[in-house]
Amino acid sequence: MFLKLQFLEGKARKEFYKENPPKKIYVASGRLNCAKNGKFE
C-alpha cells in the first residue's frame, strides 16, 4: 500500500497496530513511480 505517514496515526489504529504491527515501513522523500504490469508509462 502507498499511504501517507498520517495513516499510521490515531487512537483507533493504535489498538489495531498493537495486535497487527507492520513488519516494515518504507519512507520515500520523493514521489514514487508505479508500473502497471511491469511497464512504466
CA distance 40 to 38: 7
**Global pTM?**
0.52
Q: What pLDDT, in 10s, does the model give residues 1-41?
A: 788 888 889 888 888 999 999 899 999 888 888 888 888 87
Question: C-alpha grid cell for residue 16?
Answer: 489495531
Q: Are 34 and 12 in contact (CB under 8 A)?
A: no
Q: Are 8 and 1 in contact (CB under 8 A)?
A: no
pLDDT computed for residue 39 by the predictor? 86
Neighbours of 30 (CB within 10 A): 5
CA distance 12 to 19: 12
pLDDT computed for residue 2 by the predictor? 82
36: DSSP letter: B
pLDDT computed for residue 19 by the predictor? 93
pLDDT computed for residue 18 by the predictor? 92
